[in-house]
Amino acid sequence: MERTLIIIKPDAVQRGLIGQIITRFEQRGLRVIGMKLIHVTRELAEKHYAVHKERPFFAKLVDYITSSPVIVMALEGPEAIKAARTTIGSTKPFEAAAGTIRGDFALTVDYNLVHGSDSPENGVIEVANFFTDAELLPGWERSTDKWIS
């Protein structure tokens, strides 16, 4: 069972898309094991985006993710990373397929609505950066689980 971190970014929160985005992941079959509304601190943003620290857009990323509250979710499911990233769509919204979150709601790379972990290893690290073990409810069963996996 894989885990992925999803961040519903400031532009999606400000545009009132939280419910529609969460619905996409639930309809896909991914199980929410943690979710909260937070205001990301600069320290946490810099840690989260550390891989981009030397890139010219790093400061802009940090400013963006700290500009407004976000929803962070820990999702679990078989091949959760691939399922979530397929649901999200291409990083460049103009390349994202219709029916994906970015394909349906985003116009620019700068405001692309959602973050999803890019590997199982990063999923574990990212979930741990945003959630304590006490904030997660892994493995709880939904009545629909037997129809999904």
Q: For residue 64, what is the enclosing H or E element?
A: helix 58-65
- SS3 of residue 4 by DSSP: strand
User: Which candidate in 39, 48, 52, 115 is catalytic?
Assistant: 115
Q: Of the candidates 109, 119, 91, 88, which has an alpha carbon nearest to the alpha carbon of residue 25?
A: 88
Is residue 115 annotated as part of the catalytic site, yes or no?
A: yes
Cα-Cα-Cα-Cα dihedral sign, residues 6, 74, 120, 122: positive
Q: Counting Cβ atoms within 10 Å, is residue 22 exposed (0-12), middle (13-18) or buried (19+)?
A: middle
With contact defined as beta carbons under 8 Å apart, do 75 and 84 qualify? yes
Q: Helix 18-28 crosses helix 80-88 at what angle (to 10 degrees)?
A: 140
Q: Which residues are the active-site residues?
A: 115
